[in-house]
Structure 1
Amino acid sequence: MSAPSPYFISRERFIPASAEQIFELLATPAMHAVIDGSNSVRDALPNGPERLSEGAKFAMEMRIGAPYKVMNYVIEFEEGRRIAWRHFYGHIWRYLLEPVEGGTQLTEQWDAREVRRRWLLRLSGFTRRNVRGIERTLEKLEAHFRAGGRAEQ
């Protein structure tokens, strides 16, 4: 068995909401700042789609130290079950939704295994910070739906 890759992080959590409710939130860029556990997502840029779909392009205002903008491309899309987008640098954020009794088993993944010069991500600390950021995002998602949250802002 090979050692886990620092360039692939995957965490899962039970969320007390239907897969459709969670997917709707994930497919709404304006809601990403609400659930972001890294505290780097600020807002969706205007002129992007209100709801994501296969092939959609959307940009986000970000901040890690200094503010910046990032363009994303939806590369995987299965309504209610799977959504993933690729950042300009090549890493992928993916969400897998599995309906279970009483809610959804949600998996969040960060995949940079195919990124060129991925060692820069490790050197800059992204591989370490993303573990906690993903865990916090899943915590926020659970809290959002326990509080009766919806996909609207």
Structure 2
Amino acid sequence: MDSDTVSVERVIRAEPEEIFALLADAGRHESFDGSGTVQGTSAPSRPLELGSVFGMSMKMGLPYSTKNTVIELEPGRRIAWQTKGFGGVVGGRIWRYELEPQPEGSTLVRETWDLSQDKQAFLLKRSSMPATTEKNMRRTLDRLAEAVEA
């Protein structure tokens, strides 16, 4: 991995606002997560706003939790949150979704895994994580499409 980001994209047959509503509800992330690591939120579901902080229960072998802060938000167009764990000692990666309207009510959805601010970026970039994350992000976009195209 040469750059700090991995991105995948897919056209989904739904309006950007419908897709954004799902992305901006942390309580629903488990329903479309393609990695199988998201186990749910630590608080009731609510729409996210710029600066919102939400906890996520995770499991990758062993259970753990993350603290996520919404750092970018343009309703119907973009949302990104930065993830940290273990009291901020690890993490800093950014998960970003960008939505671009397409003809006939479709949307180009781009998901990006951004390590530019991650404390473990050096190690992560040299591991199997970028390839695994790319595969999981493709599954996430497939599941997101299933959720909104039905």
Q: What is the TM-score with the length of structure 2 in the denominator?
A: 0.89
Match of 1:74 in 2: 70
2:139 is equivalent to residue 136 of structure 1:
yes
Partner AA of 1:73 in structure 2: T
1:54-102 superposed Cα distances (whole Å, 9 cap, x missing partner):
0000010100000111000000000110000001111100000011113
Match of 1:57 in 2: 53
Out of 65, 80, 84, the position equivalent to 2:80 is 84
Partner AA of 1:96 in structure 2: E
Deviation at 1:124, TM superposition (A): 5.0
Contact 1:57 1:71 survives alignment (8 Å): yes
Out of 96, 99, 103, the position equivalent to 1:97 is 99
Q: Distance in 1 between matches of 2:53 and 2:81?
A: 9
Q: What is the TM-score with the length of structure 1 in the denominator?
A: 0.87
Alignment RMSD (CA, Å): 1.6
Match of 2:87 in 1: none
2:100 is equivalent to residue 112 of structure 1:
no
Q: Distance in 2 between matches of 1:124 and 1:44?
A: 28
- Report SS of the residue matched to 2:27: helix
Match of 1:41 in 2: 38
Q: Distance in 2 between matches of 1:105 and 1:58?
A: 26
- Report SS of the residue matched to 2:71: strand
Deviation at 1:143, TM superposition (A): 1.4
